Amino acid sequence: LILSVFILAVLSMYWAVLFHVEKNTSSLNVLVVDFDGRVPPFTGGTPLVGPMVTQMTEMMLSAPEPHLGYETIDPSVFANDPLLVRQAIFDWEAYAAVIVMPNATAMLRQAVDQANATYDPLGACQVVYVGARDQEAYYSYILPQLNALETQITSRFGQMWTSVVLQNATIPRENLQRVPQALSPAIGFSQFNLRPFRPAVVTPAVTIGLIYLIILSFFSFSFYLPIHMKFLAAGDHPPLKFPSFIAWRWSATLVAYLCMSLAYSLISLAFQIPFANPSAPTTEVANNPEPYGKATFVVYWMINYVGMIALGLACENVAMVIGQPWTAMWLIFWVITNVATSFYPLDLAPKFYYWGYAWPLHNIVEASRATLFQLHSRIGLNLGILFAWAAVNTALFPFCCYFMRWKMQKEKEKKG
C-alpha cells in the first residue's frame, strides 16, 4: 500500500509537468517588431509587408487552438535598430522574435519597378531565436508554429501582392519576367538561430546525463559509510571523537565529490564536446562559442562539483535520518523532482512547479548551457542557489550525524 501511494504521488509529478502544455503554450512569448517603412530612408510610401505580418500574428492570438504568445512591440522600444531586437532575444526577454525589416516593402517595390534581379525575398523578414536555450521547447513547440506562421503569411501576402502588381499597368511585364521572385514568393523569412544546439554529443551533458550526477552523489553515502565507521571503532588507532568524526566525514565527502565530478566532466571532454572555442558577439550566429576560453572546462567542472555538493549533501542527510529501506524511495523522489523541473520548460508547466527554479538540477542545467553555448548567463544566480543548498545541508549535517548515531545505539540496545 505504501509503495502504491508513493508511485501515485511521486510519479504523477513527472507526468503532470506536461499536463498543461497546450494551455500554457502562449507563455512562450514571441516579439513581433515591424520596422517596415518606419526608419529613414525607407519612410516614403505605404508599407505592406509589416502590416500583413502584425495582422496575421494578432489573428493567431484569437485562434482557439494553442498558439505562441505573440507581442507586437513598437520599434522605438529598440531605438529603431533590428540588432537590438536580437540582443533582447539573446537576453531571454522572449523566446523568439519576428522582425519585419525597414526596407521590406521599399525593396519589393523597387524590385518590380526597376527589375532588380538581385532582390532576395528572404531579406524582408527575420525570425530570431536561441535554440541552445531549450532545444525541447524550440523544436517541439516554438519552431513548428513559427514555420506554419511563415507559410501562412507568405501565402496570403503573395496573393495580395500578385493582385496589386497585375492591376498596375505602369509596371512593364518584362520586369516581372526578369524578377520572378518579386512576384512569387515576393517575401520570405530568414531564420537566425543565434546559438544552435550542437553537436549532438552535448545532449547528455545538459539533459539525461545529469541524472547520473544525482545517482553518483547518492550512492557515495552507502559506498563510503563503512569506511567512515572504521574511524569510530577501536583498532590499530584510537577512535575518533564524534565531533572529529563529523568533520572528517564532511571533508572526505567533499573531496570524493571533487574527484567524482572531475571524472564525470572528463567524459564530456573525452567525447570532444568543445571547451576551447573563442567567444562570439551576442547578436551573431555562432556554434559553441565559449565565454571563458580555455578555462571553460574548469568552469564546467566546478559547476558539476558545486552541483554534486548540493545534490549529494541532501542525500547524505536524508539517508542518515530515514535509513533503509526508505532511502531508495528518497532517490526516486529526488530524481523525479529534479528531472521534471530541469529537462522541460517550466513556462509550459503548471505554476505548481515554479519551485523548480530553486531546485539544484535546474540551476546546474542552466549554468552548464550558459557555459557550453555562451548563452545569456545567470551563473551567479545559479551558483548562489547551489551554494545555498550546500550551506543549508552543511548546517544540518552534524545534527543528522548525531541522529544516525542515536538510532544505531537504540538498535544495539534492542538487540542487546
In DSSP notation, 154-176 reads HHHHHHHHHHHHHT-TTS-HHHH
* Mean pLDDT, range 356-381, rounded to an integer: 96
Buried b (16+ CB within 10 A) or exposed e, 140-155: ebbbebbeebbeebbe
Q: Which residues sit opposite 278 in a β-bridge?
A: none
Query: Does the structure show a pLDDT above 90 at 200?
Result: yes
Residue 404 burial (C-beta neighbours within 10 Å; 0-12, 13-18, 19+):
middle
pLDDT band at 234 (very low <50, low <70, confident <90, very high): low
Query: Does the structure show a pLDDT above 90 at 356?
Result: yes
> Percent of the chain having pLDDT more than 90?
72
Q: Locate all alpha helices (DSSP H) within 281-325, ordered by sequence.
A: 296-322
More confident residue, 268 or 43: 268
Distances (CA, A) of 371 to 122, 156, 234, 243, 382: 32, 42, 48, 39, 12
Contact 68, 28 (CB under 8 A): yes
**How many CB atoms lie under 10 A from the CB of residue 291?**
19
Q: Which residues sit opposite 128 in a β-bridge?
A: 97, 192
pLDDT band at 228 (very low <50, low <70, confident <90, very high): low
Query: Does the structure show a pLDDT above 70 at 225?
Result: no
Amino acid making up residue 204: P
Query: Does the structure show a pLDDT above 90 at 65?
Result: no
3-state SS assignment for residue 154 = helix
Q: Both ends of the chain: CA-CA distance in Å?
A: 32
Phi-psi region of 142 (alpha: psi -120 to 50; beta: other; left: phi over 0): alpha
Least confident of 155-159, 237-241, 242-246, 310-314: 237-241
> Which pLDDT score, from 0 to 100, does residue 232 have?
62
> Which pLDDT score, from 0 to 100, does residue 323 have?
84
> Which pLDDT score, from 0 to 100, does residue 59 have?
93
> Percent of the chain having pLDDT more than 70?
95
Query: Does the structure show a pLDDT above 70 at 12?
Result: yes
pLDDT band at 298 (very low <50, low <70, confident <90, very high): very high
In angstroms, the CA 67 to CA 387 distance is 38
Query: Does the structure show a pLDDT above 80 at 415?
Result: no
